[in-house]
């Protein structure tokens, strides 16, 4: 795995962007949904959790997390199993609580499962570490602070992802402004935007999916580039958070 991608193994993605659900023995313990996490701990500044975090070598399931601050004082944490089997999106708050949804990628007719927990951060340590209660990957170590602002023009160009054992291809074309248009070989079209974050080495991703059967779905999430700038990893959830996916594009 390269250290400058959320994950790097082209496996799952669109058409329709597959819904997903938690396997109860998976990443986080399911215990209801909705508002903030039930557990609270020490007061933290969620913005200080910004970065890319990875599990130690030999820990299974190996997981990479990207945490980005939000304008409302929370942070969004995207945790992706390195075999692309599962995605978890969490909202981390100043009371250390974390809640969100977990998605078993590749399950066509499943829905996101609500999860809650608590983050424990050791930000004075070297290297910095974080851990989530209920997370069976143990402690994650910061591999990249994501401190360098993303560059908009670095995602400009044509991107392609091959899915489902080469059964489906998704293509996106990104303009210098970040506007995106795309299509899939299964009859879906995509319009949206991939915008460089002002103070983070990541991109804000939002788009609409329209498919031949008449279905339309809005998605949003984050994207990260690899070191060579020729691989773009995108993790997104639908607006109602029932569907989530990871897409691995190459130029």
CATH number where 109 lies: 2.40.128
Residue 63 falls within a domain, yes or no? yes
Average pLDDT, the chain: 85
Across the range 146-155, mean pLDDT stands at: 97
Pair 79, 102 in one domain: yes
Element (DSSP H or E) covering residue 160: strand 157-163
Residue 121 falls within a domain, yes or no? yes
**How far apart are alpha carbons 16 and 14 in whole angstroms?**
5
Instruction: Provide the token pair at 86.
Output: 């599962």
Residue 36 falls within a domain, yes or no? no
Split at pLDDT 50, 70, 90, the class of 58 is: confident
Query: Is the pLDDT score of 235 beyond 90?
Result: yes
Pair 86, 166 in one domain: no
**How far apart are alpha carbons 56 and 62 in whole angstroms?**
8
Residue 41 falls within a domain, yes or no? no
Pair 54, 88 in one domain: yes
**How far apart are alpha carbons 121 and 51 in whole angstroms?**
13
pLDDT at 4: 39
Among 112, 144, 176, residue at a domain's last position: 144
Q: Identify which of 188, 183, 198 has the alpha carbon closest to the alpha carbon of residue 71.
A: 198
Greatest alpha-carbon pair distance for the chain in Å reads 52
pLDDT at 32: 35
Residue 1 falls within a domain, yes or no? no
pLDDT at 137: 65
Among 144, 174, 195, residue at a domain's last position: 144
Element (DSSP H or E) covering residue 117: strand 113-122
Across the range 78-95, mean pLDDT stands at: 94
Q: Where are the alpha helices (DSSP H) in 176-234?
A: none
Pair 73, 95 in one domain: yes
Residue 77 falls within a domain, yes or no? yes
Chain position carrying tokens 């915008």: 195
Instruction: Provide the token pair at 12.
Output: 């799952």
Range scoring the smallest mean pLDDT among 39-43, 145-149, 244-248: 39-43
Pair 80, 113 in one domain: yes
Across the range 56-60, mean pLDDT stands at: 86
Pair 136, 165 in one domain: no
Instruction: State the CB neighbour count (10 A cutoff) for residue 251.
Output: 13
**How far apart are alpha carbons 133 and 130 in whole angstroms?**
10
Across the range 120-147, mean pLDDT stands at: 90
Pair 220, 156 in one domain: yes
Residue 240: partners with Cβ closer than 8 Å, 6 or more residues away? none
Pair 127, 166 in one domain: no
Structural domains counted in the chain = 2
Q: Please answer whether residues 163 and 13 qualify as being in contact, where contact means their C-beta atoms are separated by less than 8 angstroms.
A: yes
Query: Is the pLDDT score of 251 beyond 50?
Result: yes
**How far apart are alpha carbons 148 and 202 in whole angstroms?**
9
Instruction: State the CB neighbour count (10 A cutoff) for residue 239.
Output: 12
Pair 114, 169 in one domain: no
Q: Looking at mean pLDDT, say which of 15-19, 29-33, 62-66 comes out highest.
A: 62-66
Pair 108, 168 in one domain: no
Among 114, 144, 174, residue at a domain's last position: 144
Residue 97 falls within a domain, yes or no? yes
**How far apart are alpha carbons 210 and 182 in whole angstroms?**
10
Strand partners, 75: 69, 92
DSSP code for 18 = P
Instruction: State the CB neighbour count (10 A cutoff) for residue 238.
Output: 21
Residue 18 falls within a domain, yes or no? no
Q: Identify which of 122, 128, 70, 121 has the alpha carbon closest to the alpha carbon of residue 100.
A: 70
pLDDT at 23: 28
Pair 157, 130 in one domain: no
Chain position carrying tokens 């109602």: 240
Residue range of the domain that includes 76: 46-144
Split at pLDDT 50, 70, 90, the class of 1 is: very low
Pair 100, 175 in one domain: no
Element (DSSP H or E) covering residue 54: strand 51-55
Query: Is the pLDDT score of 53 beyond 70?
Result: yes
């Amino acid at each position: 795995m390269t250290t400058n991608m959320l994950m790097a193994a082209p496996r799952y993605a669109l058409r329709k962007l597959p819904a997903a659900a938690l396997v109860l023995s998976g990443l986080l313990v399911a215990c209801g949904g909705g508002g903030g996490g039930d557990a609270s701990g020490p007061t933290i500044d969620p913005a200080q959790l910004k970065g890319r975090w990875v599990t130690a070598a030999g820990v299974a399931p190996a997981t990479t997390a990207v945490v980005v601050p939000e304008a409302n004082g929370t942070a969004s944490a995207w945790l992706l199993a390195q075999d692309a089997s599962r995605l978890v999106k969490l909202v981390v708050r100043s009371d250390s609580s974390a809640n969100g949804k977990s998605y078993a990628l590749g399950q066509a007719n499943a829905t996101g499962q609500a999860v809650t927990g608590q983050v424990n951060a050791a930000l004075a340590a070297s290297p910095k570490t974080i851990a989530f209660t209920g997370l069976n990957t143990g402690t994650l170590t910061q591999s990249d602070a994501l401190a360098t602002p993303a560059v908009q023009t670095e995602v400009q160009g044509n991107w392609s992802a091959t899915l489902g054992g080469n059964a489906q291809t998704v293509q996106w074309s990104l303009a210098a402004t970040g506007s995106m248009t795309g299509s899939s070989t299964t009859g879906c079209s995509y319009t949206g935007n991939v915008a460089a974050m002002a103070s983070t080495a990541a991109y804000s991703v939002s788009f609409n999916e329209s498919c031949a059967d008449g279905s339309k779905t809005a998605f949003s999430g984050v994207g990260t580039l690899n070191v060579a700038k020729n691989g773009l990893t995108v993790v997104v959830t639908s607006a109602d958070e029932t569907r989530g996916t990871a897409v691995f594009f190459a130029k």
